[in-house]
Amino acid sequence: MYAPAGVKTSKDFPVPDTMKAWVLGDPGQLTLKDKPVPVPKKAEVLVRIDAVAICATDLDNIYHGPPALIEGGLPFNKNWTPGHEYMGTVVALGPGVDEYKIGQRISVEIHAGCGQCKRCREGMYTSCHNYGLNYGDVDKGHRANGFTTDGGFCEYQVNNINTLVAISDEMSDEEGTLVVTAGTAMYGLTEVGGLVAGESVVVTGPGPIGLMAVAVAKALGAQPVILTGTRDNRLQLGLELGADHVVNIRKDANVVAAVRKANGGKGVDYVIECSAAPNAVNEALKMVNRGGKVCLAAFPHDPALVDIAHIVRNNIYLYGIRGEGKSATHRAEAFMRQKRFDATKIHTHTFPLADLPTALRYAKDRVDDAIKVVVKAKMDAAHKQAAE
C-alpha cells in the first residue's frame, strides 16, 4: 500500500501504489494503462481526481500537440497523460504541508510558476519564463499539469499547494471542474480593468469560457453585457447566465453595427474575445469605443491579419491572457460559492473515466450539442445510466 517516506497519509483515504491513467501515443491515440501513483514533494499534495472536464485545449494537445510541451517538444509517445481541468480530494500531504487537510475537496489551477522569474514575482505565473523547461524535474521551474507535466485523465495527480482552490462541500464534482473555466473568464476581465461595474462588455463566442465570461461580467456589475455567436441555443444559455443582449452573427451579418445598436449606438468599453474566429480580432477592435480594451482569450489555429492602424488611431488596448492567472480562480470560486451565477448550466454530459475516448468525441464533434463534457473516475448509478 502507498506509504512514501515523509508523506502523510490517512487510513480513511487509502491510496494504491498504481493507478489507471490514459497515455497519449500517436496524435489522437490514447491507451488506458497502469502508472505508479505519483509522490508529493515539499509544498505538494496528492489529489484523488474525482472529476475532470474536457477543454478545447485538451483536444489541441491530444490531436495536434501544441500548446503541450513535453521534454522540450511534442507530447506524442512520451508516456504522457493529458487533461487539466480537474477537481478532487486531498489524500496525501507532502513534507511540511499544513495548509490543506486530508479529505479536503479542492479544485485546481493548471499553472504553478517557478516563483523566481520576473513574471512569477509579478503574480503572472501563467506567463512564467521557465514554462515547459522542467518536465520530469519539478523542483525548479514552471509546472502546468496537462501541458508540461502529466495531467488529470487518471485517478491521482500531484499538485503544488499554490494551485489548490478549496471548494464548498455543497458544490458538486461537476461544478468543481468549472472553477478553472470561470477563473479564466475572471482573469480576462481582471486584465482589461477589474472594476467593470457599469461598463459595457461584449463577449464573442458562446463556448464554455465565453459563457462563463458573460456570467462573471454580469456578476461584476457590467451593463450591458452583449454576447455574439452562431447558435441560438448557446445564445439563449448566455441570456440565462446574465447577457442583456445577444447577436446571432449568421442572422445579422453586420455584427459590429448590431453590437453598437445594443449599446445605444456607441462602441463598448471592453470585448472579451473567446471565439478564435479568423476575423474576430478586427471585429472586436471595431466594437470598442476609442480608448477601449480587447482581451484575447482563445487560441486561433492560424495567424490573423490585424488592422494595427485602427488600434493606434483609436488608442485601443489589446491584451492576451494565458489560462487563469493572478489568483482569478479563487475569486471565481467565491462567486460560485455565493451562487452569483450557475456554472452548471454549461455542463452537458458526464462519462466514466474508462470511456474517455467517447467523451472526447462528444467534446470534439459537439455530439448532442455538447458544451462541457466531464469524466469521473467513480460514477453513481444515475450518471452511468446517463452516459449509456
Residues 191 and 262 in one domain: yes
| Angle (nearest 5°) at CA 212 between 209 and 216 | 135
Distances (CA, A) of 345 to 23, 56, 154, 224: 30, 18, 25, 21
What's the confidence (pLDDT) of residue 137? Answer: 66
Same domain, 162 and 22: yes
106 and 25, same structural domain? Answer: yes
For residues 308 and 200, state if they share a domain: yes
Number of C-beta neighbours around residue 320 at 10 A: 13
Residues 32 and 161 in one domain: yes
Residues 314 and 199 in one domain: yes
In a domain, 1, yes or no: no
On whether residue 11 sits in a domain, the answer given is no
pLDDT for position 384? 45
Same domain membership, residue 288 and residue 186 = yes
Q: Given this model, what pLDDT does residue 301 score?
A: 82
Indicate the pLDDT class of residue 382, thresholds 50, 70 and 90.
Answer: very low
C-alpha cell of residue 379: 460514477
**Residue 139 predicted with pLDDT over 80:** no
Provide DSSP, 253-299.
S-HHHHHHHHTTTS-EEEEEE-S--TTHHHHHHHHEEEEEEEEE-S-
159-183 confidence digits (pLDDT tens): 999 999 999 999 999 999 999 999 9
End-to-end Cα spacing for the chain: 33
Residue 135's pLDDT is 58
Percent over 70 (pLDDT), the chain:
96
255-262 vs 280-287: helix axis angle to the nearest 10? 30
- Is 70 exceeded by the pLDDT of residue 134? no
Beta strands in 131-237 (DSSP E): 143-144, 156-160, 164-166, 201-204, 225-229
Q: Is 356 within a domain?
A: yes
- Give the H/E segment covering residue 318: strand 317-320
Q: Do residues 195 and 160 share a domain?
A: no
Q: State whether 236 and 265 are in the same domain.
A: yes
- Claim to verify: residue 303 and residue 365 sit in the same structural domain: no
Lookup: cell for 185:
473568464
**What pLDDT is recorded for position 387?**
42
The pLDDT tens digits of the residues spanning 50-88 come to: 999 999 999 999 999 999 999 889 999 999 999 999 999
Kindly give the interhelix angle for 232-240 and 208-219, rounded to the nearest 10 degrees.
Answer: 30
Whether 329 is covered by a domain: the verdict is: no
The residue among 320, 354, 371 that closes a domain is 320
Considering the domain architecture, whether residues 212 and 238 belong to the same structural domain is answered as: yes
| Residue 285 included in any domain | yes
- Per the structure, the complete domain to which residue 272 belongs is given by 181-320
* Cβ-proximal residues to 313 (8 Å cutoff; 6+ apart), any chain: none
pLDDT for residue 104: 98
Q: What is the CATH number of the domain that holds 200?
A: 3.40.50.720
Cell of 112: 504553478
Whether this prediction's pTM lies above 0.85 is answered by: yes
Report yes or no on 380 lying in a domain: yes
What CATH number has the domain bearing residue 43? 3.90.180.10
User: Is residue 325 assigned to a domain?
Assistant: no
Specify if 376 maps to a domain: yes
| Number of domains within the chain | 2
- Same domain for 295 and 364, yes or no, is no
Model confidence over 178-228: pLDDT tens digits? 999 999 999 999 999 888 999 999 999 999 999 999 999 999 999 999 999
